[in-house]
């Protein structure tokens, strides 16, 4: 108790007994860079068992900081804090968590309930970290909720409850382990007047039953309902009035704190259940993370069982590019060029080729690297100046919007079509790109379309990392070149592709007066790729071997994002008694669960793929070694790549985590 403060209550030491909470000369200083801000200035205060104390003050007065210090969510910069006769100001994080779990119950203004958990599951949380058996804690949680009038809402999630009902769930959670001291931070601030009155009535009932209640509020009317009111201003106690005489039930509340102590041995089964609940709450992200592990494990199993399966994968990708294409590039045949590519092809060459027999379309292209900006985000990608026939020639449809037209090409219209990778990089908030404007090398272009996903090329390049503009616009505004880098020719009859290739050759020689170009036949390229089967088998086998590493990095990234998104949840768990090891165990378990499930599915998928190839007459040899190796690698991946995000979560400061959005 601040003896120098006006209006201090008169206490009969014999009647009040030893203080439950003793603060002496408590200060709290926050550092913002090199600037130190002292929030609490030498607070001295005694709170006895069974008191109902309101700590009142305006926003920024330091009342919430004082509550965080009393509830062991934060540490004082200096001074002494004794709880039930024990010095606690210098306890380590785990011992502070243990004391929070045994002695304190928190009621927050915003309820701070776990969105994916039912009312019963939310109330259970403190008992989970106390090691209480599942059946016992469920029974107790339901009993408390029923006592508080929520017997018909036991299995409702927070989104299905009113504000007053959510606050009662928060109160039930505070009582789960006994809650000798109830810390209520603006408990009526987010409620209507009727719900607020119900919450205050519950706090009075708890106090009458012997619980020590500390109410943090800025409302004098709410504070007036306490038996003792402490007003704090600018980090100083300015008044302390009322009585500290404890009600008759105070001893019973303290006894409950002792009765409900339980084993602190971590329950890995419960960690697994919480992990599954958290993963289910973000199902799509979990599925995408699983996909990386599944692909990795399935690849290892399948590649080790099927010798040339990888070769068929690559050949199928080459085939998907189109075997009815001729690619024309500048530069004389069989001559190795140094420096920049020879400028010999022009758009007019494509127009002339387009008139030849058996030519479906001839598409000129001029690719180049550009920087695309949307709002404040920049992204370096490949721009391709081309004609309106590009989607037809490359069998690459538009997913949304439209491709530019012949009119756009002829009128130099500044329009652009984006690849999927560029959309993901620039429109991170999910905005529809169609109709928006982007800057390409500081030149404004309107987005009129988005290409469908194309995926990786046979050589591993991301084909979706590209944008398309009319070739005339690109030549004038972006590249400053009237030449083209290539012409893609689609033939109508593949059986006459060699004849058409020769006709194009003769046409260009006549136009250029020399053979300063090269023509590549995609059908011939496919034949050449078939001859490289052994090399490709080794290459894809290596890719399969490291795919689990890539999947592991994906798991780590997703878990790091999960930690960031669930910072407040981590703070809630710490406030209800979770030690650092509990948090570490939970998040590492989530990574292990993802990898274990992905590993099992991947093994089945890999064996299924190998079996399918065996049914087609491919030589396949099944053995337990690859299966065990692949699953063990998946499990180790979860353990290894889940540890860093889990450690980050475990090292969060409770008071900082609770303040997160």
Indicate whether 352 and 302 sit together in one domain: no
Residue 250 in any domain: the answer is yes
The mean-pLDDT minimum among 88-92, 230-234, 394-398, 560-564 falls in 560-564
From CA 582, how far away is CA 94, in angstroms rounded?
Answer: 10
**pLDDT by residue (tens digit) across 138-186?**
898 898 898 888 888 899 998 898 888 888 888 888 888 888 898 888 8
Q: Which residues 6+ apart lie within 8 Å of 636 measured at CB?
A: none
Q: What's the longest Cα–Cα distance across the chain?
A: 115
Confidence of residue 253 (pLDDT cuts 50, 70, 90): very low
* Residue 522 is assigned to a structural domain of this protein: no
Domain contains 427: yes
Looking at the predicted structure, is the pLDDT value of residue 529 above 60? Answer: no
How many domains does the structure of the chain reveal?
A: 3
Q: Are 207 and 129 in contact (CB under 8 A)?
A: no
CA distance 238 to 4: 9
Arithmetic mean of pLDDT over the chain: 81
On whether both 540 and 507 belong to a single domain, the answer is: no
At residue 533, the pLDDT reads: 57
Range(s) of the domain holding residue 387: 343-515
Mean pLDDT of 5-13: 39
Residue 261 clears pLDDT 50, i.e. is over it: no
Do 81 and 157 belong together in one domain?
Answer: yes
Q: Burial level of 336, CB count in 10 A (0-12/13-18/19+)?
A: exposed
Residue 123 CB-half CA count within 13 A: 33
Task: Spell out the alpha helix ranges (H) of 566-623.
Answer: 567-575, 580-615
| Cα–Cα–Cα angle for 372, 406, 503, rounded to 5 degrees | 105
- Looking at the structure, do residues 347 and 380 belong to the same domain, yes or no? yes
What is the predicted pLDDT for the residue at 528?
Answer: 59
Model pLDDT, residue 399: 93
405-457 pLDDT, tens digit each: 999 999 999 999 999 999 999 999 889 999 999 999 999 999 999 999 988 77
Helices (DSSP H) in 432-579: which residue ranges? 471-473, 497-512, 522-530, 533-565, 567-575
Lowest mean pLDDT across 300-304, 336-340, 522-526: 336-340
Question: Residues 545, 417: one domain?
Answer: no
Same-domain status, 128 and 26: yes
pTM recorded for the entire structure? 0.55
Query: Of the candidates 250, 265, 280, which is a domain's last residue?
Result: 265
217 and 289, same domain (yes or no): no
Q: Which residue has the higher pLDDT, 656 or 339?
A: 656
Do 85 and 203 fall into the same domain?
yes
> Would you tell me how many other CB atoms lie within 10 Å of the CB of residue 276?
15
Do the domain assignments include residue 619? Answer: yes
Please report which helix (H) or strand (E) contains residue 153, including its range: none
- One domain for residues 274 and 403: no
pLDDT at 537: 56
Q: Is residue 328 part of a domain?
A: no
Q: Is residue 322 part of a domain?
A: no
Whether the per-residue pLDDT at 10 is higher than 70: the answer is no
Q: Note the pLDDT of residue 515.
A: 86
Query: Same domain for 561 and 620?
Result: yes
Angle between helices 580-615 and 268-281 in degrees, nearest 10? 70
Q: Give the tokens for residue 344.
A: 């010999």
Specify if 362 maps to a domain.
yes
Q: Quick one: 381 exposed, middle or buried, by C-beta within 10 A (0-12, 13-18, 19+)?
A: buried
**What Å distances lie between residue 508 and 281, 389, 484, CA to CA?**
62, 21, 14
Name the least confident of 263-277, 382-396, 494-508.
Answer: 263-277
| Percent of the chain at pLDDT exceeding 90 | 18
Determine which of 156-170, 353-367, 376-390, 556-570 has the lowest per-residue pLDDT on average: 556-570
Last residue of a domain, one of 265, 286, 307: 265
Which string of b and e fits 604-635 if b means at least 16 CB within 10 Å? ebbbebbeebeeeeeebeeeeebbebbbebbe
- pLDDT given for residue 525 in this prediction: 63
Contact between 130 and 582 under an 8 Å Cβ cutoff? The reply is: no
Confidence of residue 258 (pLDDT cuts 50, 70, 90): very low
Instruction: Work out the pLDDT band at 543, boundaries 50, 70, 90.
Output: low
Q: Does the pLDDT of residue 585 top 90, yes or no?
A: no
Q: What is the pLDDT of residues 586-622, one digit of tens each?
A: 788 878 888 888 888 888 888 887 888 777 766 666 7
Q: Provide the pLDDT confidence category of residue 297 given band limits of 50, 70 and 90.
A: confident
Which CATH number is 134's domain given? 3.40.50.300
163 and 24 within one domain: yes
In a domain, 442, yes or no: yes
Q: Which residues of 397-428 are buried (b: 16+ CB within 10 A; e: fewer)?
A: eeeebebbeeebbeeebbbbbbbbbbbebbbe
């Amino acid at each position: 108790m601040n003896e120098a403060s006006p209006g201090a209550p008169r206490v009969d030491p014999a009647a009040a007994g030893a203080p439950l909470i003793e603060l002496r000369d408590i200060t709290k200083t926050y550092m913002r860079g090199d600037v130190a801000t002292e929030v609490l200035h030498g607070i001295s205060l005694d709170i006895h068992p069974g008191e109902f104390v309101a700590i009142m003050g305006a926003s920024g007065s330091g009342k919430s900081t004082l509550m965080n210090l009393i509830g062991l969510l934060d540490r004082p910069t200096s001074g002494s804090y004794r709880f039930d006769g024990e010095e606690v100001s210098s306890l380590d994080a785990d011992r502070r968590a243990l004391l929070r779990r045994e002695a304190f119950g928190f009621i927050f203004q915003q309820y701070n309930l776990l969105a994916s958990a039912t009312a019963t599951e939310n109330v259970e949380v403190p008992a989970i970290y106390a090691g209480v058996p599942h059946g016992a804690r469920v029974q107790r949680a339901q009993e408390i909720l029923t006592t508080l009038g929520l017997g018909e809402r036991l299995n409702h999630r927070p989104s299905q409850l009113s504000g007053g009902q959510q606050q009662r769930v928060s109160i039930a959670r505070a009582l789960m382990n006994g809650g000798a001291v109830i810390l209520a931070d603006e408990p009526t601030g987010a409620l209507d007047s009727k719900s607020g009155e119900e919450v205050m009535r519950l706090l009075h009932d708890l106090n009458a039953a012997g619980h020590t209640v500390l109410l943090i509020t800025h409302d004098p009317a709410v504070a007036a309902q306490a038996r003792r009111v402490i007003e704090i201003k600018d980090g100083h106690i300015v008044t302390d009035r009322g009585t500290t005489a404890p009600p008759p039930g105070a001893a019973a509340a303290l006894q409950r704190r002792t009765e409900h102590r339980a084993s602190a041995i971590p329950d890995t089964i419960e960690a697994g259940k919480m992990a599954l609940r958290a993963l289910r709450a973000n199902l799509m992200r979990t599925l995408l993370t699983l996909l990386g592990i599944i692909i990795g494990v399935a690849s290892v199993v399948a590649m080790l069982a099927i010798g040339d399966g990888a070769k068929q994968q690559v050949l199928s990708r080459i085939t998907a590019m189109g075997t009815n294409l001729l690619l024309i590039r500048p530069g004389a045949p069989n001559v190795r060029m140094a420096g920049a590519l020879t400028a010999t092809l022009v758009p007019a060459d494509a127009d002339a080729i387009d008139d030849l027999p058996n030519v479906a379309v001839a598409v000129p292209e001029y690719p180049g690297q550009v920087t695309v900006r949307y709002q404040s985000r920049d992204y370096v990608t490949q721009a391709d100046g081309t004609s309106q026939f590009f989607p037809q020639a490359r069998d690459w449809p538009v997913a949304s919007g439209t491709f530019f037209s012949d009119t756009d090409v002829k009128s130099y219209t500044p329009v652009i079509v984006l690849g999927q990778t560029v959309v993901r990089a620039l429109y991170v908030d999910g905005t529809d790109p169609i109709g928006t404007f982007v800057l390409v090398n500081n030149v404004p272009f309107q987005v009129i379309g988005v290409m469908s996903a194309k995926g990786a090329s046979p050589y591993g390049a991301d084909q979706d990392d590209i944008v398309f503009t009319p070739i005339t616009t690109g030549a004038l505004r972006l590249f400053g070149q009237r030449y083209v880098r290539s012409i893609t020719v689609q033939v109508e009859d593949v059986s006459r592709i060699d004849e058409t290739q020769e006709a194009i050759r003769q046409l260009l020689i006549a136009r250029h007066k020399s053979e300063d170009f090269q023509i590549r036949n995609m059908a011939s390229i496919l034949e050449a790729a078939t001859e490289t089967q052994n090399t490709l088998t080794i290459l894809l086998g290596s890719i399969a071997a490291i795919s689990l590493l890539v999947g592991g990095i994906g798991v780590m990234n997703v878990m790091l994002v999960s930690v960031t998104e669930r910072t407040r949840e981590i703070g809630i768990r710490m406030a209800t008694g979770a030690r650092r090891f509990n948090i570490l165990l939970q998040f590492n378990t989530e990574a292990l669960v993802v990898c274990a499930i992905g590993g099992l599915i991947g093994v089945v998928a890999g064996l299924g793929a190998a079996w399918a190839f065996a049914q087609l007459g491919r030589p396949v040899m099944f053995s337990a070694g690859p299966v065990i190796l692949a699953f063990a690698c998946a499990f180790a991946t979860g353990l290894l790549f889940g540890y860093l995000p889990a450690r980050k979560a475990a090292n969060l400061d409770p008071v900082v985590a609770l303040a997160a959005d």
